[in-house]
Amino acid sequence: MKRVLLFIYFLFFVILLPAQQENTIRISKFDSTETIKLNKYWKFHNGDDSVWASPLFSDSSWDTINTLLKFDKNDSTPFRGIAWFRLHLYIDSGMNNTPIYLYIEQQGASQLFIDGRLLYSVGKVATNSLEEKKYNPRNIPFTLFYSHTGEHILAIRYSNTNYRQLHEKYDLDKSGFSIYLTNQEYLFQEYPNNTVIEFLLVSLGIFFITLGFIHFLFFLFYKKQRSNLYYSAFVGLLGLLFILPSIMFGSLEPERSLKIGYYYWFVLLFFFYSMLVLNYSLYKRPLNKYFWFSTVLLILTIGLRSEGYGSYVFISFITSTVIASFFIVIKSIIKKVDGAWIIGIGSLFFLLFILLILIITMFNSGFSITLSLSDGILNLVLFILILLAIMSIPISMSVYLARDFAKTSKNLSKKLIEVETLSARTLEQEKEKQKILETQKEVLELQVNERTAEIVEQKTIIEKKNKDITDSINYAKNIQEAILPTKELKNKIFPNAFILFKPKDIVSGDFYWFTEKNGKKIIASCDCTGHGVPGALMSMIGNNLLNQIVNEKGITTPGEILNNLHKEIRKALKQEEQTETKDGMDIAVITFDSKTEIEFAGAQRPLWIIAPPNLSEIKGNKFSIGGLQSEKERIFTNHIISITKGTTFYIFSDGYADQFSDTDKKLMTSRFKQLILDIQHQSMAEQEQFLADYIEKWRGKREQIDDILVIGIRV
């Protein structure tokens, strides 16, 4: 792959004479540039035994294998993590005094033995991944012989403990190694221009990534021009296509190279897709069936990467994006889209080059190019064409942006002249209007002064009355707050509870009430008819009657409390005499009788019981306390409920669930229930704060429509 990246392939010839025995390789001579590939005819055995390095050991029962150890169609390989390889080499007398060097490319670690003698350790061979140290020497030569003719045993102890993980994670198709023999100490010493070319390619990669970053900044400052975003992705991915291989082939750690190579495939894939998206954006083309066809191919290419026919889908995807982009450019030029011919020239040059590469690849086994001066001027010209093709789109895009900028500057200059002309006309018109206004100013000022005096007088009267009313209501608020139970009493009777109380106006029609009587703890959530001053008056009546019924009469059963409260409300408001007074209240009452039972009764209000993760509801009677009713008495149902430690109870008015948001959306009881369930892991104080913050965020700038009261108690 490094030779592909640097556009360098070298010519090699292998002279392998017929084997003297099953796995004996005879080497008779080398030409000046000759390389012998020794992947075949090796004896192989899984396991680890130092005796296997000895030339006296018989390996006739071992399997003959290729050192690449490729995975077959069933996703298996004979390799099991550590194994030995043995090869019989016969050095002919024609090789006398000829140096022989060995090169190895591997995914694991190895030890090289000649005739039982350890020559080199390439990494650290081990039976587990913690001790193993992988190393890929790539183009580092290992000296074998200079004048030792005759038969020799080349043995390799090789380990690759996590070969299965590498295969599954990075689609590695082999678990073994490649090995070569040559008389050249450095395979690439005849190509001194490699470093210059590699530096040039890395520099191009950095240039493209920088260019992509600049256009991304353009997009951030002006997001309406989305083409800058797509172009930044296109050239950024192009830069990675140059830089990643240099990192990959510069690393001597096999796993790092595999990882970079794996992701390089995805970079290449999304590079072509970004090119397609960029063309649709530049020429403002609607996303048609060709775009969605390419998108489907992209998904299939990713999904079928590891399949045997995945490469065909990959080629189909690249071909589809190139052809689709080609036709977009052609159509835009034909329709004379502004600036299309500028970008079109660069795009067409690049696309035609890609098509040329695809055609060569389809009709040949691959595409290769060398840059040695000895290979002729044709390769040099082709290399220059490659660079021009790569640079064509950025250059054309830069020309287009410069032209667009110049055009915009001209338009701005024209607009400035128009604005100056209009401003001069406007100033003249304003002067004329000023003269007309000056003549009317005195009359208007007199009229304004007269009306202002009247308004000021009326405002003073209204403000005084409003202040008197507000002061009275504020004083009533103090009285109402004084009647409500104190926080200290709440903490004494119900230490693990919260009361969220948010009046709509200064005073409230909702109120809470609790006490302790005869060893029982009673608490009530009350919602009186109306809110503001009328509701506050009803709340004071209700509070007083609850004190009489429970604290004075000693009635602690919730049902009886509501029965008595109903009678007393009707009596206090003279509703039995068929007056016009329709006021009453909805109420929920809980009596904590023991640690295992509670009693509950409700008038139009329910009780929610939560024993996580379940919420159960005990509904109250479907009639209220007081009001104009045909019957004088109403019997309220008294519920006795068994409880366990950690159970939480909630009683509340209808204000929380009825609140509207900015978008006229009602909170609703179902959402309120879910909120209560979601906060069960929080303390009662945290629940109160959460519910208070949530309702404020929910209503936003919308006015609170009713008093809000929520009581939560955990036993």
Domain boundaries, the chain: 2-182, 194-406, 485-714
Identify the architecture of domain 485-714 in CATH. 4-Layer Sandwich (3.60)
Whole-number Å distance between alpha carbons of 39 and 42? 7
Please give the average per-residue pLDDT across 490-497, as a whole number: 91
Residue, of 26 and 33, whose pLDDT is higher: 26
Decide whether 2-182 matches 485-714 in CATH topology. Answer: no
Q: Are 701 and 662 in contact (CB under 8 A)?
A: yes
Whole-number Å distance between alpha carbons of 16 and 396? 54
pLDDT score for 110: 93
Residue 646 has pLDDT above 70, yes or no: yes
- 389-402 pLDDT tens trace: 667 777 777 677 66
Please give the average per-residue pLDDT across 146-163, as a whole number: 84
Enumerate the β-bridge partners of residue 338.
none
Least trusted range by pLDDT, from 15-24, 490-499, 584-593, 632-641: 15-24
Which residue has 């005096």 as its token pair?
453
* pLDDT-based confidence at residue 514 (cuts at 50, 70, 90): very high
Q: Are 628 and 664 in contact (CB under 8 A)?
A: no
How far does the chain reach from its first CA to its final CA, in angstroms? 71
Mean pLDDT of the chain: 80
Residue 235 has pLDDT above 70, yes or no: yes
Q: Are 641 and 598 in contact (CB under 8 A)?
A: yes
pLDDT score for 254: 82
Return the number of other C-beta atoms located less than 10 Å from residue 484's C-beta. 18
pLDDT score for 380: 52
Residue 670 has pLDDT above 90, yes or no: yes
Q: Are 9 and 368 in contact (CB under 8 A)?
A: yes
Whole-number Å distance between alpha carbons of 702 and 662? 5
Closest by CA to 625, choosing from 692, 696, 553, 527, is 527
Which residue has 């507000």 as its token pair?
470
Whole-number Å distance between alpha carbons of 73 and 76? 7
Q: What are phi and psi of 198, to 5 degrees?
A: -60, -40
Enumerate the β-bridge partners of residue 158.
83, 110
Q: ∠ CA 110-113-114 to the nearest 5 degrees?
A: 150
- 381-432 pLDDT tens trace: 555 666 666 677 777 776 776 676 667 667 777 877 887 788 788 788 877 7
* pLDDT-based confidence at residue 360 (cuts at 50, 70, 90): low
Instruction: Give me the sheet containing 708-714, strands edge to edge.
Output: 497-502, 708-714, 648-652, 607-611, 614-618
Residue 158: HSE in the Cβ half-sphere, 13 Å Cα cutoff: 30
| Amino acid sitting at position 557 | T
Q: Are 283 and 340 in contact (CB under 8 A)?
A: yes
Considering only the top CATH level, what class is 2-182? mainly beta
Of the ranges 12-21, 84-93, 184-193, 527-536, which is most confident? 84-93
pLDDT score for 208: 84
Whole-number Å distance between alpha carbons of 164 and 161? 8
3-state helix, strand, coil in the chain (%, to 5): 50, 20, 30
- 315-340 pLDDT tens trace: 888 888 878 887 887 888 888 777 77
Q: Is 142 left (phi over 0), alpha (psi -120 to 50) or beta?
A: beta
> What global pTM score does this model have?
0.48
What residues have CB less than 8 Å from 15, skipping those under 6 apart? 27, 28, 29, 34, 36
Residue 6 has pLDDT above 60, yes or no: no
Least trusted range by pLDDT, from 248-257, 318-327, 379-388, 514-523: 379-388
* pLDDT-based confidence at residue 629 (cuts at 50, 70, 90): low
Please give the average per-residue pLDDT across 356-361, as a whole number: 63
Residue, of 605 and 12, whose pLDDT is higher: 605
Whole-number Å distance between alpha carbons of 543 and 481? 12
Please give the average per-residue pLDDT across 363-377, as a whole number: 45
Chain centroid to Cα 711, Å, comes to: 40
DSSP calls for 334-387: HTT-TTHHHHHHHHHHHHHHHHHHHHHHHHSS-------GGG-HHHHHHHHHHH
Residue, of 550 and 611, whose pLDDT is higher: 550
- 279-300 pLDDT tens trace: 888 777 888 888 888 888 888 8
Residue 627 has pLDDT above 50, yes or no: yes
- 78-125 pLDDT tens trace: 999 999 999 988 887 777 777 788 888 888 999 999 988 998 899 999
* pLDDT-based confidence at residue 5 (cuts at 50, 70, 90): very low
- Tell me the two tokens of residue 100: 């022989």
Q: What are phi and psi of 326, to 5 degrees?
A: -60, -45
- Tell me the two tokens of residue 547: 């004190």
Whole-number Å distance between alpha carbons of 671 and 392? 59
% pLDDT > 90, the chain: 26
- 678-698 pLDDT tens trace: 999 999 999 999 999 999 999
* pLDDT-based confidence at residue 189 (cuts at 50, 70, 90): very low
Chain centroid to Cα 407, Å, comes to: 39
Please give the average per-residue pLDDT across 56-60, as a whole number: 90
